[in-house]
């Protein structure tokens, strides 16, 4: 394709995105090479799907076409970590785990803990992936302070900067967060970091009925306790385990854990983090859903799920993951969406077995801003070549 980029290779079944095998795969090694690739694709009118660690390819709908898969794992440099400023600049292909290891050596962390193995920063941004500690640190929109993107025509654009406080210009980082590669390619990211808390305490409470977690999570959220995460793992209509994680200085976590046991009316204290903290529920035969809703409606959301559905809830935040058996999903999904709508609830398909995938409405209703979203898409990608069809309303 160019002198600097390794030539594209033909795509194969292992490269498939939602069952669509790309014609070619290219792996650029720098932001400029991504721009070269995009300019060439524009000249040829090719459809492009950017990917990173490929850990969340099913989170968006399958693309209508994929002439070229742009593999960003070659953009793997941590460009600049300024520990004194608690900021880091890293290219999109850097794996989140590798970044955590590097900034961890300075006693710092990026406050994102999605559980998908091998996830890259670009993928985390594009899929807006998050985990249990979103309760404490927020999500990409709260931590991403600068971004470099490459548009469909090869234009390289930056927004934000490398200072946390900055209101100059539109925040394109927000726009590209969760856009699933439909507006352009995320090439480099700049983040706000946090110090690693020195001590941890975990309170675990077994609940015969998962629905009891709703009022407990609300009580925690309205208390002066400052947990990093409140996780519910169990099944709708069945038993569940509530895990409350405190991370701070030793004096604080000890006191807070005791107070949490009082507030919850029970629970075991420990220093060990459950190995499966934040793991998405279910298996390959299930349809995995992400539910978002007004935070205090957790009990109502659990009640709206088919009985026995495996659930992992970030209980105090208004986000849950549910694994519905594939055979029930096509019927259950519309009912679930209708039932949680009064709580501003939405359900998005993150993974579905091939057999049922095409029968599911991946994103569900979007509301009255869908036309505006389409207009944004038209401005950024007028030829509709970027991950076509992967997003809401066929965007």
What part of residues 64-83 is at the interface with another protein (CB under 8 A)? 79-80, 82-83
The answer to whether 153 and 135 have CB atoms below 8 angstroms apart is: no
| CB 171, min distance to another protein, A | 6
Which residue's CB is nearer to another protein, number 283 or number 382? 382
Region near another protein per CB under 8 A, out of 9-17, 64-72, 193-201, 276-284: 193-201
Contacting another protein (CB under 8 A), which of 29, 318, 388, 389? 318
Tell me which residue has tokens 């309760």. 135
Which residue's CB is nearer to another protein, number 25 or number 332? 332
Region near another protein per CB under 8 A, out of 11-19, 202-210, 291-299, 327-335: 291-299
> Could you give the CA distance from residue 118 to residue 247 in angstroms, rounded to a whole number?
25
Residues 135 to 154: which contact another protein by CB under 8 A? 138-139, 141-142, 146-149, 151, 153-154
Burial 319-340 (b: 16+ CB within 10 A, else e): bbbbbbbbebbeebbeebbebb
9 belongs to the binding site for another protein (CB under 8 A): no
Which residue's CB is nearer to another protein, number 119 or number 347? 347
Which residue's CB is nearer to another protein, number 22 or number 299? 299
- CA of 339: how far to CAs of 150, 334, 353, 367, 393, in Å? 40, 9, 24, 16, 21
Which residue's CB is nearer to another protein, number 15 or number 91? 91
Which residue's CB is nearer to another protein, number 239 or number 249? 249
Contacting another protein (CB under 8 A), which of 23, 194, 200, 279? 194
What is the DSSP code (8-state) at residue 11?
Answer: -
Region near another protein per CB under 8 A, out of 19-27, 44-52, 321-329, 371-379: 371-379
| CB 279, min distance to another protein, A | 20
The tokens of 114 are what?
């999605």
85 belongs to the binding site for another protein (CB under 8 A): yes
Cα distance between the two ends of the chain:
28
3-state SS of the chain: helix, strand, coil percent to 5? Answer: 35, 25, 40
CB atoms within 10 A of CB 384: 16
SS3 state of residue 337: helix
Q: What angle do CA 276, 278, 284 make, to 5 degrees?
A: 80
Residues 97 to 126: which contact another protein by CB under 8 A? 107
- CA of 20: how far to CAs of 69, 306, 390, in Å? 11, 31, 11
The answer to whether 98 and 124 have CB atoms below 8 angstroms apart is: no
> Could you give the CA distance from residue 58 to residue 351 in angstroms, rounded to a whole number?
5
> Could you give the CA distance from residue 89 to residue 318 in angstroms, rounded to a whole number?
30
Interface characters, 298-317, with another protein (x: CB under 8 A): -------------------x
What is the DSSP code (8-state) at residue 196?
Answer: P
Interface characters, 28-57, with another protein (x: CB under 8 A): -----------x------------------
Which residue's CB is nearer to another protein, number 124 or number 147? 147
| CB 216, min distance to another protein, A | 12
| CB 262, min distance to another protein, A | 14
Which residue's CB is nearer to another protein, number 265 or number 367? 367
Interface characters, 327-366, with another protein (x: CB under 8 A): ----------------xxxx-x--------------xx-x
Strand pairing of 346-351 and 108-109? unpaired
| CB 45, min distance to another protein, A | 16
Q: Give the count of residues interacting with another protein (CB under 8 A).
A: 100
CB atoms within 10 A of CB 260: 26
Q: Residue 92: which of 171, 155, 28 has the closest Cα?
A: 28
> Could you give the CA distance from residue 88 to residue 192 in angstroms, rounded to a whole number?
7
59 belongs to the binding site for another protein (CB under 8 A): no
């Amino acid at each position: 394709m160019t002198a600097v980029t390794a030539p594209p290779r033909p795509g194969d079944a292992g490269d498939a995105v939602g069952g669509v095998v790309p014609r070619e795969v290219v792996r650029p090694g720098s932001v400029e090479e991504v721009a070269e690739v995009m300019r060439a694709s524009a000249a040829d009118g090719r459809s492009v799907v950017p990917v990173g660690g490929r850990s969340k390819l099913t989170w968006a709908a399958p693309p209508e076409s994929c002439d070229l898969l742009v593999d960003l794992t070659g953009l793997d440099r941590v460009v600049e970590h300024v520990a004194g400023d608690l900021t880091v600049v890293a290219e999109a292909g850097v794996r989140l785990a590798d970044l955590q290891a590097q900034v961890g050596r300075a006693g710092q962390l990026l406050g994102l803990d999605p559980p998908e193995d091998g996830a890259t920063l670009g993928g985390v941004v594009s899929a807006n992936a998050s985990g249990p500690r979103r309760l404490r640190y927020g999500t990409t929109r709260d931590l991403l302070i600068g971004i470099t993107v490459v548009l469909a025509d090869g234009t390289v654009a930056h927004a934000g900067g490398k200072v946390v406080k900055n209101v100059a210009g539109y925040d394109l980082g927000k726009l590209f967060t969760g856009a699933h590669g439909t507006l352009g390619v995320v090439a480099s990211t700049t983040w706000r970091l946090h110090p690693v808390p020195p001590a941890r305490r975990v309170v675990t409470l077994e609940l015969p009925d998962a629905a009891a977690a709703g009022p407990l999570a609300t009580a925690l959220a309205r208390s002066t306790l400052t947990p990093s995460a409140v996780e519910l793992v169990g099944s709708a209509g069945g038993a569940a385990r509530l895990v409350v994680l405190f991370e701070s200085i030793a004096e604080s976590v000890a006191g807070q854990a005791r107070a949490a046991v009082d507030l919850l009316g029970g629970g075991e204290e420990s220093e060990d983090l459950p190995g499966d903290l934040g793991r998405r529920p279910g298996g390959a035969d299930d349809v995995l859903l992400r539910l978002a809703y007004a935070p205090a409606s957790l009990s109502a959301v659990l009640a709206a799920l088919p009985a026995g559905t495996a659930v992992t809830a970030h209980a105090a935040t208004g986000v849950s993951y549910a694994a519905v058996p594939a055979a029930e999903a096509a019927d259950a999904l519309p009912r679930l969406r209708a039932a949680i709508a009064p709580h501003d609830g939405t359900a998005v398909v993150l993974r579905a077995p091939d057999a049922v995938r095409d029968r599911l409405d991946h994103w569900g209703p979007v509301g009255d801003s869908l036309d505006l979203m389409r207009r944004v898409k038209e401005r950024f990608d007028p030829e509709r070549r970027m991950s076509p069809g992967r997003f809401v309303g066929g965007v």
